[in-house]
Amino acid sequence: NRVDVGIVGGGPAGLMTALLLKRRGISAAVVERRSHGEIRRTQRAGILEAPTVDMLVEAEVGSRVLTDGHEHEGTVLSFDGVQHRIDFQELVGRSVWLYPQNEVFHDLATAWEREGGQIHWSVQEVGVHGVDSDQPSITFLDAQGQAGRIEADLIVGADGSRSMCRRLIPEDVRTDYFTTYPFAWFGILCDAPPTAPELIYANSEVGFALISQRNESVQRMYFQCDPETKPADWSDAAIFDHIQQVLGGPDAVNLKRGPIIEKTVLPFRSYVCDPMTFGRLVLAGDAGHTVPPTGAKGLNLAFSDVRALVPRVEEFLTGLRQAAEAEADAPASTAPLERYSRTTLDRVWKAQNFSYWATNLLHRQPGENEFAQRRRRGEFDAITGSVHGQAYFADSYTGWSAPSPN
């Protein structure tokens, strides 16, 4: 079983890589530990930057994002119950789209399978071998327990935040940068219509809450909690009362309530792996970096990795073929892959900064004093009270200017 590129991880990063490589005539095979159903049922974020939507269109995965997704031309920031709308279109001429990540996954997986793309779901004991040789491979046990093997010229590690691929970058080559936060998010899904037309990111004396949406009848909301919180300890009424308290104040909105159909506690962490390549291995998406969810950057960052990666993979493979034809003795140059790592990390750090900054602007640190909350209020007013501050938020949130296509 030989392909050009072997991909570990069948989430959005891995599948988008597979599809865009195919569009350039490069073959790929994907292995994934989870089942299609399990990934589709896992709630993740729901905000897509415009270039992310463009990539779905470019990958020819169908137009559900355009028909079922909702364009949001702005968002609301709320502090102590005083609301400020950030008008993305007016400030930077761009929108974002609300379209849940599990639907993005489903569209990509459906397209890949419809086109006969090779994918092995529910695999176990995945091993990646020979990334420091010119014959890398992936071994695994398939869903029936049969041993499988994929030989390739290059391995893409798109295996998520607990990536095993990244551990193949030797410790004396790799630097892990990370920071932790003393809080987490309590996320719920509930059967209720939207509370407001746009998302509301809110801070108050009792911390952060985010009012998001899924569709006309299902809503997604989050609030800041202790990382040790047990979801079952919170009743539906206590959850809504708490979120209502965060929104309380002069512009208080009345939360639409309904039966809660899912409760989860989401960890918070910032992480970057540098470099994102070693030998015949490259990382894409959460395998190379994790951001806290506040800026809605995770999926968008994974896709911007893929956008930067695909042309560099093509360049690397072309170099490899030319070296083989010339019967050159020298090993194929991995320079295009190193260039990918450098350019994508520049964007990763911009997103790390925005996610960290927005997190600290909108959350309350446990045990902080009154100075901290008043200073935060000053920072908030400096952003919302100035067109330049608002434009900074809008530019970062909507994904900066469109990247150059290559």
d(C-alpha 94, C-alpha 388), whole Å: 16
> What is the contact mask toward ligand DHB in residues 264 to 303, using x (rule: CB under 6 A)?
-----------------------------xx-x-------
Least Å from the CB of residue 45 to ligand DHB: 4
Straight-line distance from the first to the last Cα atom of the chain, in angstroms, rounded to the nearest whole number: 30
Cα–Cα distance measured from residue 168 to residue 131, given in angstroms and rounded to the nearest whole number:
8
Our CB check for ligand DHB shows the closer of 16 and 45 to be 45
Query: Under rule CB under 6 A, which residues in 30-69 are in contact with ligand DHB?
Result: 45-47
Task: Spell out the residues 6+ positions from residue 213 whose beta carbon is closer than 8 angstroms to its own.
Answer: 46, 70, 98, 194, 199, 219, 220
Q: Does 192 bind ligand DHB (CB under 6 A)?
A: no
Min dist CB 88 to ligand DHB, Å, is 14
Q: How many residues bind ligand DHB (CB under 6 A)?
A: 10
Nearer to ligand DHB, 136 or 293 (CB): 293
Residue among 45 and 202 whose Cβ is closer to ligand DHB: 45
Write out the H or E segment, with its range, that includes residue 177. Answer: strand 175-180
Query: Does residue 155 touch ligand DHB according to CB under 6 A?
Result: no
* Three-state DSSP class for residue 369: coil
* Shortest Cβ 295–ligand DHB spacing (Å): 6
Which are the catalytic amino acids? 72, 201, 293, 297, 397
The least distance separating ligand DHB from the CB of residue 300, rounded to whole angstroms, comes to: 10
Residue 290 vs 294, nearer CB to ligand DHB: 294
CA atoms within 13 A on the CB side of 406: 12
Q: Is 212 in the site for ligand DHB (CB under 6 A)?
A: yes
Alpha-carbon distances, residue 357 vs 6, 174, 296, 349, 392 (angstroms)? 36, 25, 13, 12, 12
- The distance of closest approach from Cβ of residue 98 to ligand DHB in the complex, given in angstroms and rounded to an integer, is 7
- Omega before 275 within 30 of 0, i.e. cis: yes
Cβ 291 to ligand DHB shortest distance, Å: 9
Per CB under 6 A, the list member of 22, 120, 220, 376 interacting with ligand DHB is 220
Residue 165 or 358 with smaller CB distance to ligand DHB = 358
Q: Which is nearer to ligand DHB, 158 or 296 (CB)?
A: 296
DSSP 257: P
Question: Which pair of structure tokens corresponds to residue 401?
Answer: 């200017």
Q: For the beta carbon of residue 275, count every other beta carbon within 10 angstroms.
A: 18
CB 109 within 8 A of CB 10: yes
Interface with ligand DHB (CB under 6 A): 45-47, 199, 210, 212, 220, 293-294, 296
